[in-house]
Structures are given as C-alpha cells and as structure tokens.
Amino acid sequence: MSRASKGNSRLRLTVSGRVQGVGFRPAVYRLADELKLSGTVSNTTSGAVIEVEGPVAIIEKFVRALPRRLPTHCSIATMDHAVLPPSGSKIFRIEKSRAVADAGAQVPPDLNLCASCRAELFNPTDRRYRYPFINCTDCGPRFSIIQGIPYDRRKTTMSAFDLCPACAAEYHEPGNRRFHAQPNACADCGPQLRLIDASGKSLGNGNDALKKCARLIKAGKICAVKGIGGFHLVCDALNATAILTLRARKHRPSKPLAVMARDLRTAAAWCMTTPAERASLSSAARPIVLLRKRPGLHPRVLDILSPGNGALGVMLPYTPLHELLFADGAFTFLVMTSGNRADEPIAIDDDDARARLTGIADAFLVHDRPIHNRCDDSIIQLTGGRRPSVHFIRRSRGYVPEPIPFSAGPSAARIFAAGAELKNTFTLTRGSSAIVSPYMGDLDNEAAIRAYQLSFRRLRSFLDIQPSAIACDLHPDYASTHFAHSYAAKGKLPLIRVQHHHAHVASVLAEHRVTHTSIGIAFDGTGLGTDGMVWGGECFVVTNARFSRCAALEGFPLPGGDLASREIWRLAAGAQAYADIRSALPARYPSDMVRQMVHASLNSPLCSSAGRVFDMVAALAGLRYECDFEAQAAMELESLAAAAPGAARMDFDKKKVYNFTVLPGGAAPASGRDGGVMIVLRDMYRQIAADTAAGISPGIISLTFHRTMAQIIVAMALHARAAGGGTTVCLSGGVFQNRLLLTLAQNRLAAQGFTVLTNAAVPVNDGGISLGQAWCAAHGYRN
Ligand code: ZN
Ligand code: ZN
Ligand code: FE
C-alpha cells in the first residue's frame, strides 16, 4: 500500500455554489472513478469538499475536466485548493455530509421534470411507467421539500419513505442517473396519489385517482391539485362555464387567471411567443410567462381568463403529475390558479386545503409527500426586441432560494429585512449573498401573517442566519413592520426603518451593485413618505444610501383615502375639484359630495402616487370607475395604448404628449420638496377630459398619456442630473410593470445620454422592497 501511493499527492477542493441536490457528488464520483483517483466527496453546510489522491498529473487532469463534467443545474462559484499529505486511500467514496461553520450552501430551487424522466414516465415497459413522482438528480422537488441543510434525504419530507431494494440499488450505484438522487422513489416505495371529495371520502387511489380527476375536469368540475409548492385550483380552460364557476366561487370576478398549456406549440395557438419567451417557458424554473394574446383571435375564454388585458399568463407542465393529467384528459389548456381563498396564502397541507377550499373545489387530488416550504408559481414578463430582458412580477418557485449577489457595504451585518405589506417577500443576508424569500402575498389577513412568521422561522433556521440588524418599512401599521419591531426588541437589535420608495430604488442599486451617486425614480402605488404624505411618483439623488428628493409629482387629493384605490371615480371627482374640470361622471357616483370633501380638505389626504395617476386617468377617460384588484385600470390603459396605431413608434414628437409643468418647490400647494421641483399635471388632466369629451379613442388618449409619463420621467432625470445626480437612472416601483411605459422611458432616457437600470433579479413591485431595505441597512441608511 505504501509503495502504491509513492509519488502520489492529495488535493482538497473546497467548492461553493449550486452544488447540492443537482447531481454534483455523483458527477465528481464518476470522474474520479474514470481517472482511477481515490478520495472522497461530501456535502457540507457551505457547499462541498472533494479530496482526490493519485499522481499529480492525473489530479491536474481531474481539476481541468471537472467544470466540463458538471450536471445541467450545477454551478461552481468558488473553488479553493489545499495540498494534503497522501493518506494511502484506495477507493473513491461519497462520504456522509458534514457540518462546517459557515452555512452558505446553495440549495437548489425546485426543478421541472427532465426529458429522461419524462420518457420513462410514458414508457409502458419502464418500472416507473405512469408514476407521478418520478425524478432524478437532474429534476424533481428540492426547496419545497427541504427541511435543513446539508441537503440529504433525511432532511427532506421524503425521510418518511424507505427506499425499496430497486430504488436503493439505483441510489447507491455510481453509474446510475439516480445515484444519490435524494427524492428517488417508485410506486412500490414512494408517495401515492389519492382523490378525495370535500368530506374526505376516497374517490380513488394511484392511477385510478388521476384518471378520475381528469374525467371530472373534462366534465367541467373544479379540482384542487397538490403541486410542488402548493395547491392549484384546476379547470378546463376551454370551458367558459367552468371558468366562470371558478371565478364566482373564488370571488375573483376579473383578476387574470393563469393557464398551463400542454406544450410550446399549444401555447403558441393562443399567444404570440418570441424566442426569448419560449426559452423562459421551457426553462427549468417553469415560470408563468405573460404573453401577448394573438391579435384577431377571440375565443370567448380568452376574455374570461384575462378581461380587458392584452396579455395572458401561460406556463408549461413542470411535474410528472401535470404531464399525466394532460395526457389522461387530452387537454390543451388548463386553468391553474393558486389554491387559496381571496388573499390568503396558497394551501399546502391536504387537510388545510380541504378545510379552506371546500365550496370552491369539487374534488381534491392529494398525495402523501408533504410540502415543507410554500412556494407559489413565479411570474415573469419579457421586454425589449433584439436584446430581451426578463422582469419578475413574482419571484418564487423555481428561483427561491437562489441567492442574489449582494454588496454588503461597510458593515458586515447579517440583515433581516421584513419587506412591505403587499406582494411581500422578506430577505436575509450574509456577506455577499442576499436570500429573498418566496412570495408571501398580501399581509392583510391573519392567515398570511401567520404564514409569513412561519416561513421566516423556517428559512432563517434553514439558512442558519442569526440577524444582527433588522430593516422594515417606514409605515408603522404594516404587519411586516410590527413583526420586525418585536423581533428587534426581543433580540435588542438595531431597527432601521426605510422609506418605501427609497427601498424601491435601493433594490436596483443592490442588484446592479451601483456604488456611485445616481438618480432613482420610483413610480409606484403608494408608500408613506418621510413627510407623512402618501408618495409614489418620486425622483431622488442617491449618494451612499443618502436620499435627497429632488422631484416629485404634485400632490393630488385622495378622497376617501385608501377607498380611492378601488373606487377610482373618487380620484376623477377629486381632479374635477382641484384641476377645475367640468366633465361629468356617471350619475350613480356622488361626485358632488366628493368635490365638496376635497374643497373642504375633508378626508382627502394628498398623494403623489403615479399608480393613482393611472387610476385617475382611466376614470377621466371613462374607461372604468371601479377596480376589482390593484393595477386593473393601469393594465387596461397599457393594453389599449399598446394596441393603438403608432404605439410601436418611440421617436414621437412634442405634439404627441400632454402638457405638464415643472415648478420649483414652494410655488404651489403641497410643496416642500427639499428645494426640488414639482411636476404639475393639471393641464394633462384637463386635456384628457377634453379629449374624452371630444370622442378621441381611449387607445389614443392612453398612448398619449403613456408618452407624457415617459416625458415626465425624462424631465425628472434631467433636473436630477443638473442637481448633481450623475447619469445613471434607476427605475423601480410597481408602475414599471407596465412594459410600454418602461420601454418608452428607457428609450427616451437613453436618447438623453442616461444609463438606465431597472430590476431584473427581483420584481419592480413590492416583492423587491425587502432586498432594497437590506441594501439600505447594509449601507448605513438613516432617516
Ligand atoms: Zn429527471
Ligand atoms: Zn422504490
Ligand atoms: Fe411600492
């Protein structure tokens, strides 16, 4: 033995990156085995450690070959080398996982069914033929079933299932593609399907359950189907009556519903798809992609799925269960919407689903593999023609818990940032990694708040991050603020309250690692300003996390406060009063009363929200007077403008925008802009009312309005540049989900010599707030 190891050396490679749960150790094993090197590979809490022993030249060959031999979903961030004395080892082994001090292991997100497993699924001679939980080292559930790191079967919700001899053989055989696939299972030893009715009575098991479920859906019923990160409510998307029933039962009259298309070709029958959109649809994350409906194509169901909206949310099947369901029912499109009631969190437990979805779902397709981490479907959209870029509307399943590279700034703090109120996420940071939580939804109900606290506890302990500073919104009444406050108090930790729109802008700075002075423009719904007013149309100059507000939309009245975001006719009535417009609103609305309220400054707080400007314009243009959900009016305005003649032209001239005035601060009511300017929109409101009265089409009005908003953004940026803000503009806030406005603003700003940045790693909406809060806390923000 000693002679055999003469001239040998041993090298330890300490690897970080996405190396757990993606077939890294098996790949290392196979390479070492091929090269006849001895040694070990093991997962650690911070990544993986390889030790290889053999002739130096062969070890070098191993190190060179390794990057080329990585499985699809694997990526190495860093690899440190250390030379060790040879131990005389003879074989290569995968060792038991060990714990090391710094827990930073990257746990992979859930991965869609791979092609090899799909082929086995539909192969009648395969032993996993039609087994709905088939998976391998390249595919299957990950984050949603992981309870702790290092990633091992015993720390997942698969720990309750013992491998049968056949599965165990695959798991232990290095050449097998299920070698160390932690969720490996088959029909003999793994999770099983069950179809039950609302009372819990069994309607069938296994494949019988699947086939019965497909028949029910085909017959127009609604089924709750347990997926990867939670339950879906499923019905046939070709059946208008079924969709309307689902809408009625879910009390969701008009909010868009996402569909799952059988495959790419099917998706293209309803929607236009670019190559980049097709790539996103088929990516391992399998997000919902917002696609443009085909013009001239009008199946009635398309209008029921997303009324008044030019886009439809589409995804492709991502689990074996989905594939089987499509095959058994010969479906082309299925509605797949979150299995929840109103704004509550999506159900993940079988009993909870039955308790909460009874009355909505006719039957429940469940199974006994528990979901540990709730993870809604992600939603993305793409902008840009030749150089398309992905924008998140919701970043969750398929992406979480992938860390976002983060510049920690001067403090080495580990930060817990609690996020905002709506579309909440929270963030935990450690060093140069920020881990943004799954989508938590709106924290406006008890169930959501409880789910938020549970997710925080689980993710915190799972990542083993002990926060040393806490960040939250400036708004004192957000549930996330309350939680952050009590968490900080209990641990005697510093609490940093970050103004909402500062956090929006900071999320862009964080993502793009901007360190120089720059301009931040937040066009958003609403957030509490540092002056106690409601903000949402703001321009800042940012230097080292110090924000100075150098331009903002003029405050306008929000008659009835929060009520005005649903009853948007109130905004139009308010504009009539403050901009002296004489157009009439439909008689059913008590607009006289509201005008008097505004004149008397009764319950009419001033707000500068760009999101509310969209609502007001929709009402002034007679498009709609009430909203069922946030941004409904804005989506309609965007769809109308995008379909209007000339919408594709970006080089519009001055005649094609409405008038607005740039006023030095202090010259008009509701000023106090830190010596900045105020953008006065009264002329625009009057012109829109006049155009509407003159019968100009809503599409043209909306397109002109979009161009005006883009011009306002340019005017703000020019002012900020003159005030020393530099030439980088960061755009964020929910209004920039509007693809037309974003594209117009980007083009107009670029034409003025600005570098334009916006969110790509987190949503521009409030789902990105927690990352921005974390950045502010890390960079010494104080207000
Ligand atoms: Zn697979
Ligand atoms: Zn088995
Ligand atoms: Fe916001």
Q: What is the pLDDT of residues 244-282, one digit of tens each?
A: 999 999 999 999 999 999 999 999 999 999 999 999 999
Residue 660 structure tokens: 């607005």
Give the whole-angstrom CA distance, residue 378 versus residue 290: 11
Q: Name the amino acid, one letter, at 304.
A: I
Distance 136 CA to ligand 2 centre (A): 13
Distance 352 CA to ligand 2 centre (A): 28
101 near 41, Cβ under 8 Å?
A: no
Which ligand is nearest the CA of 112, by number? 1
Which ligand is nearest the CA of 473, by number? 3
Distance 350 CA to ligand 2 centre (A): 23
Distance 116 CA to ligand 2 centre (A): 18
Confidence band of 669 (pLDDT split at 50, 70, 90): very low
Distance 178 CA to ligand 1 centre (A): 8
Residue 263 DSSP class: S
**663 class by beta-carbon count within 10 Å (0-12 exposed, 13-18 middle, 19+ buried):** middle
Is beta strand 379-383 parallel, antiparallel or unpaired with respect to 288-293?
parallel
Ligand 1 being an ion, which residues bring their Cβ within 5 A of it? 114, 117, 136, 138-139
Distance 511 CA to ligand 3 centre (A): 17
At residue 15, the 3 state secondary structure works out as strand
Distance 526 CA to ligand 3 centre (A): 6
**694 class by beta-carbon count within 10 Å (0-12 exposed, 13-18 middle, 19+ buried):** exposed
Whether residue 674 has pLDDT greater than 70: no
Nearest to 164 by CA among 156, 154, 172: 172
Distance 34 CA to ligand 3 centre (A): 54
Distance 131 CA to ligand 2 centre (A): 11
Distance 110 CA to ligand 2 centre (A): 21
Nearest to 456 by CA among 425, 431, 478, 434: 425
Q: What is the pLDDT of residues 103-128, one digit of tens each?
A: 556 778 999 999 999 999 999 999 99
Distance 126 CA to ligand 3 centre (A): 51
Distance 118 CA to ligand 1 centre (A): 7
Cis peptide upstream of residue 557 (ω within 30 degrees of 0): no
Q: Name the amino acid, one letter, at 330.
A: A
Which ligand is nearest the CA of 498, by number? 3
Beta-carbon contacts of 493 under 8 Å, excluding residues fewer than 6 positions away, are: 467, 468, 469, 470, 487
| Residue keyed to tokens 């998307």 | 237
- DSSP H/E element including 469: strand 469-473
Distance 313 CA to ligand 1 centre (A): 26
Distance 320 CA to ligand 1 centre (A): 10
Note the pTM of the prediction, 2 decimals: 0.93
Whether residue 645 has pLDDT greater than 90: no
Sheet holding 47-55, edge to edge: 75-84, 8-18, 47-55, 38-44, 92-94
Whether residue 426 has pLDDT greater than 50: yes
Distance 483 CA to ligand 2 centre (A): 44
Residue 264: its pLDDT value, please? 97
Residue 132 structure tokens: 């709905």
Residue 476 DSSP class: T
Give the whole-angstrom CA distance, residue 246 versus residue 194: 22
Give the whole-angstrom CA distance, residue 445 versus residue 579: 37
Please state the rounded mean pLDDT for residues 297-324: 93
Angle between helices 682-693 and 698-720 (to 10 degrees): 170
Give the whole-angstrom CA distance, residue 108 versus residue 48: 14
Per DSSP, which regions of 487-623 are E strands?
Answer: 495-498, 518-528, 534-543, 546-553, 556-557, 606-607
Distance 527 CA to ligand 3 centre (A): 6
Least confident segment among 239-248, 426-435, 725-734 = 426-435
Residue 2: its pLDDT value, please? 37
Give the whole-angstrom CA distance, residue 730 versus residue 504: 9
Please state the rounded mean pLDDT for residues 136-165: 92
Please state the rounded mean pLDDT for residues 519-531: 95
Give the whole-angstrom CA distance, residue 611 versus residue 734: 8
Ligand 3 being an ion, which residues bring their Cβ within 5 A of it? 524, 766
Please state the rounded mean pLDDT for residues 733-760: 96
Q: How far is CA 518 from CA 61, 210, 538, 648, in A?
A: 47, 55, 14, 29
Helical spans, DSSP H, in 274-341: 275-281, 300-305, 320-329
Which ligand is nearest the CA of 176, by number? 1
Give the whole-angstrom CA distance, residue 617 versus residue 704: 11
Distance 50 CA to ligand 3 centre (A): 45
Beta-carbon contacts of 82 under 8 Å, excluding residues fewer than 6 positions away, are: 11, 12, 14
Distance 137 CA to ligand 1 centre (A): 6
Least confident segment among 89-98, 138-147, 535-544, 716-725 = 89-98
Which ligand is nearest the CA of 535, by number? 3
Please state the rounded mean pLDDT for residues 723-738: 97
Give the whole-angstrom CA distance, residue 106 versus residue 687: 54
Query: Among the ranges 407-416, 658-667, 762-771, which has the highest mean pLDDT value?
Result: 762-771
Please state the rounded mean pLDDT for residues 285-295: 95
At residue 144, the 3 state secondary structure works out as helix
Residue 409: its pLDDT value, please? 65
Distance 73 CA to ligand 1 centre (A): 12
Cis peptide upstream of residue 150 (ω within 30 degrees of 0): yes
Q: State phi, psi for 291 to the nearest 5 degrees.
A: -110, 150
Distance 121 CA to ligand 2 centre (A): 14
Q: State phi, psi for 37 to the nearest 5 degrees.
A: -95, 145
